[in-house]
């Protein structure tokens, strides 16, 4: 047992320290996501300070404190792009959301760090958000089918989609 | 006379006109020079004022830029403090818990029991982009210690290493990739106050072992897991002889003579569908040579379909043991299955029904059970549950232990 265990340990974990392996679950760089959202050229990033009523609304959706004071976002015409982190179970998932005309144009999992639930990266899941809008009560105007075994990650992506719509509405209201 | 008067009048007009022209005559050069000098002075004065205004504007801009830099730096610092405060950067904390109340009626006797079954804390840490740590620490049944019903357990403590973007290795103490509930068992994620019995008796969830493993995520929805790890040490005599659940050593000074191997293949490439199958082999599930329990093989498969309001779970799990003693006891084949349809009416409400059929080592673990119930999620992280179970034992001699049970539950995760 001992010899076998150490052999497998060596085989499996050795490469992780030996060379330039992959970055766990990093599927896309944020810059590439922004470039994809604005094919004509990415606008300069802007800063949104999350305070007052906006902070309250964001924290209501997340169900916990929002640690950041401000957010970087990209905005051109009716389109805005948001890159946000949210924890499903253990570690933050980095999610890109593109909003156009107050509806979601695209959701993409850019980096997945948790131990389980990585299936939320699949288009069959993220495509459910396309064209989703916020209802008056802050919920999405549609039901998002979950993934068994990824319930907590599904919840994280859904919360971020709602937050992105909320933030988009905020920058448009303020002009 | 008239002519003289006319001439006089014309003369007077001419004189008046001449005098008027003398009054509006162009300024002299001296006068013009004076005007130019005055205007130049005004221009100089305005230039000076403009220069001062520009300088003031530049200074203001510089101060605004400095202020922006300071505000950004302050924001960075405050966010760093906030992140440190919440542990949101590298170290994270989470948890779940569940409280159960069971009112059971049986010919063998009625019982009322309330139990804070599980209180669990997660601690995760991201060492680098490639190395992460996950752990789960649990207090079962609220009170642990000599004579107390509960236990303090370390259910997970392992590091995961990214070999490539979609291939991972792990070492430490981890949950085995078997069934539906063993890896994901937060109470908000399943129906029923108590976990299903197939994944308690046949698959002894929560089941963790220590060792090393790998998993890969293929682009077409397929993923695989493989692990070599510590194994069971099943008793071969007494009331729990050949009972799989009693064989868990929980990696507590565990016997490690005979390793076990677990593999899983999972497909999640279609929305709402999960198909998975796992296989485990252990050379000696008792880890005692010559005791009549020589080897064990576990096979389990499950399907989950969830689309819209409708959900369906079905799972089969079965053991095959070799050895004269286990065969003589009739415990060489132990298996069970369940099917669970459900309807979720909204984000807050859902109902389910479940039917289970088990044939395990102990006589009381051979039964069928029907149940139905309701989950209410006031918010996604909190659930209230109620269900009703009806168990019928397979052996007529144990019919006295058949029971009906009403259960209430509260669960949470964060």
pLDDT band at B1 (very low <50, low <70, confident <90, very high): very low
Cβ of B171 within 8 Å of Cβ of A9? The answer is yes
What is the layout of strands, in order, in the sheet containing A70-76? A46-49, A70-76, A79-87, A92-100, A103-112
Query: Which of B171, B220, B377 is best to mutate for the A interface (most A CBs within 10 A)?
Result: B171
Return the pLDDT at B67. Answer: 84
State how far residue B354 is from chain A, nearest Cα, in angstroms: 17
For residue B244, report the phi and psi dihedrals to the nearest 5 degrees. -60, -45
Q: What percent of chain A has pLDDT over 70?
A: 86
Instruction: Tell me what ipTM this predicted complex has.
Output: 0.70
Cβ of A91 within 8 Å of Cβ of B132? The answer is yes
DSSP classification of residue A39: T
Q: Which two tokens stand for residue B4?
A: 């003289």
pLDDT band at A8 (very low <50, low <70, confident <90, very high): low
Q: Which two tokens stand for residue B121?
A: 């804390």
A116 contacts in chain B (CB < 8 Å):
183-184
Return the pLDDT at B272. Answer: 87
CA distance A173 to A157: 24
B85 contacts in chain A (CB < 8 Å):
67
Peptide bond into B206 cis (omega under 30): yes
Q: Which of the residue ranges A2-6, B37-41, B44-48, B191-195 would you say has the lowest mean pLDDT? A: A2-6
Return the pLDDT at B11. Answer: 57
Residues B142-157 pLDDT 10s: 999 888 999 999 999 9
Return the pLDDT at B317. Answer: 98
CA distance A124 to A147: 10
A92 contacts in chain B (CB < 8 Å):
88, 92
Return the pLDDT at A11. Answer: 58
Among the ranges A117-131, B40-54, B89-103, B194-208, which has the highest mean pLDDT value?
B194-208
Predicted confidence (pLDDT) at residue B26 exceeds the cutoff of 70? yes
Return the pLDDT at B82. Answer: 64
Predicted confidence (pLDDT) at residue A17 exceeds the cutoff of 80? no
Return the pLDDT at A63. Answer: 85
pLDDT band at A175 (very low <50, low <70, confident <90, very high): low
A146 contacts in chain B (CB < 8 Å):
306
The burial class, CB within 10 Å (0-12 / 13-18 / 19+), for B21 is exposed
Return the pLDDT at A15. Answer: 53
**In what helix (H) or strand (E) does residue B344 lie, and over which residues does it extend?**
strand B333-344
pLDDT band at B28 (very low <50, low <70, confident <90, very high): confident
C-alpha separations of A95 from A29, A36, A110, A114, A126 in Å: 11, 14, 5, 13, 10
pLDDT, mean of residues B301-314: 94
CA distance B390 to B377: 25
CA distance B205 to A152: 20
Average pLDDT over chain A reads 85
Q: Which two tokens stand for residue B354?
A: 């479940």
Total Cβ atoms within 10 A of residue A26: 17
pLDDT, mean of residues A18-39: 78
Q: Are A26 and A110 in contact (CB under 8 A)?
A: yes
B 85-104 residues with CB below 8 A of A?
85-86, 88, 92, 94
Residues B113-136 pLDDT 10s: 999 999 999 999 989 888 999 999
Enumerate the H helices of A24-115 as residue ranges: 30-37, 52-62
Q: Which two tokens stand for residue A173?
A: 């209201």
Q: Are B362 and B240 in contact (CB under 8 A)?
A: yes
Instruction: Tell me if the pTM is above 0.90.
Output: no
Q: Are B204 and B244 in contact (CB under 8 A)?
A: yes
CA distance B231 to A4: 14
Query: Which of B70, B80, B166 is best to mutate for the A interface (most A CBs within 10 A)?
Result: B166
B217 contacts in chain A (CB < 8 Å):
118
Cβ of A27 within 8 Å of Cβ of B165? The answer is yes
Buried b (16+ CB within 10 A) or exposed e, B214-252: bbebeeebebebbbbbbbbbbbbeeeebbbbbbbbbbbe
Q: Are B173 and B160 in contact (CB under 8 A)?
A: no
pLDDT band at A9 (very low <50, low <70, confident <90, very high): low
Residues A67-124 pLDDT 10s: 888 899 999 989 999 999 998 888 889 999 999 999 999 999 999 988 888 889 989 8
Residue bearing tokens 């642990």: B144
Closest CB from A5, A23, A68 relative to B79: A68
Cβ of B126 within 8 Å of Cβ of A113? The answer is yes
Please tell me if residue B267 touches chain A, with a CB cutoff of 8 Å: no
- Nearest chain A residue to B95 by CA distance is A89
Cβ of A68 within 8 Å of Cβ of B272? The answer is no
pLDDT, mean of residues B197-204: 98
Q: Which two tokens stand for residue B398?
A: 């144990």
Angle (CA) B280-B285-B286 rounded to 5° is 170
Residue bearing tokens 């692990």: B227
A22 contacts in chain B (CB < 8 Å):
130, 162-167
CA distance A62 to B41: 67
A139 contacts in chain B (CB < 8 Å):
347
**In what helix (H) or strand (E) does residue B7 lie, and over which residues does it extend?**
helix B2-23
For residue B158, report the phi and psi dihedrals to the nearest 5 degrees. -145, 155
What is the sign, positive or negative, of the torsion defined by CA atoms of A1, B234, B208, B249? negative
Of residues B258 and A25, more confidence is placed in B258
pLDDT, mean of residues B208-234: 94
Residues B53-103 pLDDT 10s: 999 999 899 888 888 777 777 777 776 666 665 545 688 899 999 999 999
DSSP classification of residue A120: G
Average pLDDT over chain B reads 90
Cβ of B168 within 8 Å of Cβ of A2? The answer is no
**In what helix (H) or strand (E) does residue A4 lie, and over which residues does it extend?**
helix A2-18
């Amino acid at each position: 047992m001992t010899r076998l265990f150490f052999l497998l340990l060596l085989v499996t974990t050795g490469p992780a320290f030996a060379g330039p392996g992959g970055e766990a679950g990093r599927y896309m760089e944020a810059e590439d996501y922004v470039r994809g959202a604005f094919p004509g050229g990415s606008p300069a990033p802007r800063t949104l300070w999350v305070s007052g009523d906006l902070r309250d609304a964001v924290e209501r959706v997340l169900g916990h404190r929002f640690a950041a004071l401000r957010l970087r976002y990209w905005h051109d015409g009716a389109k805005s792009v948001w890159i946000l982190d949210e924890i499903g179970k253990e570690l933050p998932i980095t999610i890109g959301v593109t909003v156009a005309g107050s509806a979601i144009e695209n959701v993409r999992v850019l980096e997945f760090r948790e131990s389980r639930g990585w299936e939320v990266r699949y288009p069959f899941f993220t495509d459910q958000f396309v064209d989703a809008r916020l209802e008056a009560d802050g919920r999405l105007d549609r039901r998002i089918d979950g993934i068994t075994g990824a319930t907590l990650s599904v919840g994280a992506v859904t919360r971020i989609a709602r937050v992105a719509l909320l933030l988009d509405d905020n920058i448009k209201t303020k002009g | 006379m008239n002519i003289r008067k006319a001439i006089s009048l014309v003369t007077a007009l001419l004189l008046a006109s001449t005098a008027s022209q003398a009054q509006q005559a162009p300024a002299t050069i001296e006068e013009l020079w004076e005007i130019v000098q005055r205007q130049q002075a005004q221009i100089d004065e305005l230039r000076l004022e403009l220069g001062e205004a520009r300088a003031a504007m530049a200074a203001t801009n510089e101060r605004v830029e400095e202020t922006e830099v300071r505000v950004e730096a302050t924001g960075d610092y405050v966010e760093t403090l906030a992140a440190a405060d919440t542990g949101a950067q590298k170290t994270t904390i989470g948890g779940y818990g569940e409280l159960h109340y069971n009112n059971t009626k049986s010919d063998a006797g009625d019982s009322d029991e309330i139990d804070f079954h599980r209180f669990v804390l997660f601690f995760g840490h991201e060492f680098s982009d490639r190395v992460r740590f996950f752990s789960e620490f649990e207090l079962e049944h609220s009170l642990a210690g000599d004579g107390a019903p509960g236990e303090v357990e370390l259910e997970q403590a392992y590091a995961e290493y990214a070999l490539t973007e979609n291939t991972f290795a792990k070492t430490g103490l981890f949950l085995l990739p078997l069934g539906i509930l063993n890896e994901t068992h937060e109470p908000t994620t399943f129906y029923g106050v108590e976990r299903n019995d197939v994944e308690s008796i046949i698959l002894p969830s929560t089941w963790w072992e220590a060792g090393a493993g790998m998993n890969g995520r293929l682009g077409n929805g397929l993923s695989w897991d493989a692990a070599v790890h510590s194994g069971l040490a099943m008793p071969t005599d007494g009331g729990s002889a050949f009972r799989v659940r009693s064989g868990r050593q929980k990696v507590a000074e565990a016997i490690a003579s005979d390793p076990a191997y677990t593999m899983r293949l999972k497909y999640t490439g279609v929305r709402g569908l999960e198909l998975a199958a796992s296989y485990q082999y252990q050379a000696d599930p008792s880890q005692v040579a010559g005791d009549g329990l020589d080897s064990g093989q576990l096979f389990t498969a499950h399907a989950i379909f969830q689309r819209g309001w409708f959900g369906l779970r079905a799972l089969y799990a079965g053991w095959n043991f070799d050895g004269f003693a286990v065969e003589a006891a009739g415990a060489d084949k132990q298996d069970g299955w369940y099917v669970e349809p459900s309807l979720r009416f909204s984000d807050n409400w859902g109902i389910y029904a479940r039917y289970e059929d088990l044939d395990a080592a102990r006589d009381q673990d051979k039964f069928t059970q029907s149940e139905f119930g309701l989950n209410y999620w006031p918010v996604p992280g909190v659930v209230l549950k109620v269900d009703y179970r009806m168990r019928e034992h397979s052996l007529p001699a144990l019919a006295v232990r058949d029971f009906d049970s009403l259960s209430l539950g509260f669960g949470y995760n964060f």
